Amino acid sequence: MARAYNFSAGPAVLPLEVLQDAQKDLVDYKGCGMSVMEMSHRGKDYDAIHQEAIATFKELCGLGDDWSVCFIQGGASMQFAMIPMNFLGKGEVADYGKQGTWSNKALKEGQKVAALRGATVNVAADCQKDIPTRMPIEWKWTDGAQFCHICSNETIAGAELKEFPKTTGPLICDMSSDILSCERDYNKFDMFYAGAQKNLGPSGMAVVAIKKELAAKGDDKIPTMLQYRTYVDENSLFNTPPTWGIYIFGETMKWVKKMGKEKLFALNAEKAKKIYDVIDGSEFWTGTAVPEFRSNMNVTWRIKGGDEELEKRFIDDAKKLGMSSLKGHRSVGGLRASIYNAFPMEGVDALVSFMKDFEKKNG
């Protein structure tokens, strides 16, 4: 069976090499007589998987011993609630960027916690409804903010932060859709996290990198499983972790390391440029993000400014050719090609060729 070119925003394409190795290990992991899904999370075989996954990720991100890497179920959406629960108390202020759909979801969770605790949430920048979509140019931070929350890449908007702001409080970033996709100094942050199902592995958990000093400041009166210190102190083994997801995450990190970050980042930029060049080269297509904020992970566009009939035909015809999930998010419509780290260059070439052919027939 031929594999489709999967342009889904998430769960998304995984490296074929990782999937094939996982297939070999599925029933009998490295001769231990059982699957990773069957082995004890306290046993030595799984412990080696767990420790290597963390070590490889920290190496790729350039993180030292002052950082912890945690595996927390519930995806990035759980983090939207956990962050203010841990770090926002009575009379305190937190800053949020309102940059698009996902950062707005984080903001709403922060507002809920703030309302319960008598705290305040400040919107440091608001460009969520701007068309064409973009990222903030100016930020208004609060002196003494407990934390400042931003999103590096908005998958629905197709907009990405190219430079990160200087903040007055600890900087926390949702990097779900562009983590390890480009050169970045991760030590500028106090915490960053990502739902695994885009660049890191399968769905079902978030990978959270947090400075130990910040984790220790969290509220110790909230439920144990919602405290970051629990995951830091117990190395994400307080309860049974999502062992299979962590295994695939570790294998994906080894794949990134094998590829080489410099090569991978260059390929990501090249893949995006090929599609944007087609969009910019004709009036048939309309890009939906301001050029200087265009995402290299999620390319969003319309046909003739929003011809829904033609867009549906484009999506249907593409699917017949093995190109899946090119429909834009249901909230905005249009077209979207998510081309994460594992997405192959030949898939981009197939899309570009199809776009040119489709324009000739329908332009």
Spell out the residues 6+ positions from residue 269 whose beta carbon is closer than 8 angstroms to its own.
182, 296
Q: Is 28 a catalytic residue?
A: no
Question: Of 95, 98, 141, 174, which residue is the catalytic one?
Answer: 174
Q: Is 102 a catalytic residue?
A: yes
Q: Are 202 and 19 in contact (CB under 8 A)?
A: no
Question: Of 58, 67, 102, 178, which residue is the catalytic one?
Answer: 102
Question: Of 198, 211, 254, 271, which residue is the catalytic one?
Answer: 198
Q: What is the Cβ-side half-sphere exposure of residue 184, based on CA atoms within 13 angstroms?
A: 21
Q: Is 174 a catalytic residue?
A: yes
User: DSSP assignment of 21-74, as one string?
Assistant: HHHHHTTSGGGSSS-TTTS-TTSHHHHHHHHHHHHHHHHHHT--TTEEEEEEET
Give the whole-angstrom CA distance, residue 97 versus residue 85.
18
Give the whole-angstrom CA distance, residue 151 versus residue 177.
9
DSSP 164: P
Give the whole-angstrom CA distance, residue 128 versus residue 151.
12
Active site (catalytic) residues: 102, 174, 198
